[in-house]
Structures are given as structure tokens and as C-alpha cells.
Homo-oligomer: A and B are copies of this chain.
Amino acid sequence: MQAKQILETCLYVDELVEAEAFYSSVLGLLPFSRVEGRHVFFRCGNGVFLLFNAAQTQQSTGAVPPHGANGPGHVAFAMQEDDIPNWREHLRQNGVTIEQEITWPSGGYSIYFRDSSGNSVELATLKTWGL
């Protein structure tokens, strides 16, 4: 048996309203489900990107298995090589500080910044992973 696709990628945030605004405006993701104080879910490509408030999801309610981590997590979204300058300008216009940029031995390129809760967010070209 082999898992062939990741369906849900999760991060935990302190403040869901700010985080929804961040991922909507900065990453252009479309929120499609929210429970106030607990989560907001976005579609992205052939999967979903889930933001949770860990204090809520750590509770054993019986509805779903509890989970919830504290501290900065990490996620990377794909970017087109041609779009690198456009993303830089878009981040600047949204008041997002670029923390680091890296050229990888593979020829890939990454731009790192922080979301509204301090998670490490990356935009990376597919070449980064030889994809």
C-alpha cells in the first residue's frame, strides 16, 4: 500500500481571524470552511490547507482525534520561476518582510517569510525538489 498524494496540510495559529486574512491576501488562498475560534480551511491545488487553534483541537471531543502543536511550524507553496519578482513585490505591497532567500544546489529558489502567528512560510520553485 502506498499513499500517493497529501490531502491535508496543517498549521496551528494563535489568532484565526488574522491568519485567515494573511493567507487570503498574501497567498491568495480561498477559505471555504470556518468554525470561529477553532479552524479555517482553504483549498489549494488538489488538497486543502488547514489552520487550527491548537488549544481547541487538543480537546478530546470524540468528534475527531485530538491533535495540536505549539511553536512555529513550516509550510511551502510552489511558485513559478517567472513569478519570483512578482511575489517579492506582492509581499512588499502586503507589508510582509522577507526573512531569507535561498538559491538551492538543484537550481531551485526559495523565499521565506512569517505568517501572522510566526509560522515559517516558504514559496519555492518546483526545481527545488527536482519536480
Taking each of A3, A12, A114, A120, which has the highest tally of chain B beta carbons within 10 Å of its own beta carbon? A3
Range class of the A interface residue count: 35 or more
Within 8 A of B (CB), among A26-69: 27-29, 43-50, 52, 54, 57-58, 64-69
Q: Please, how many angstroms separate the alpha-carbon atoms of A77 and B9 in the complex?
A: 9
Assembly stoichiometry (copies): 2
A124 at the interface (CB under 8 A from B): yes
Residues in A71-111 with C-beta less than 8 Å from chain B? 71-79, 83, 86-87, 90, 99-100, 102
Complex: how many Å from CA A27 to CA B6? 11
* Contact residues in B for A5 (Cβ distance below 8 Å): 44-46, 77-78
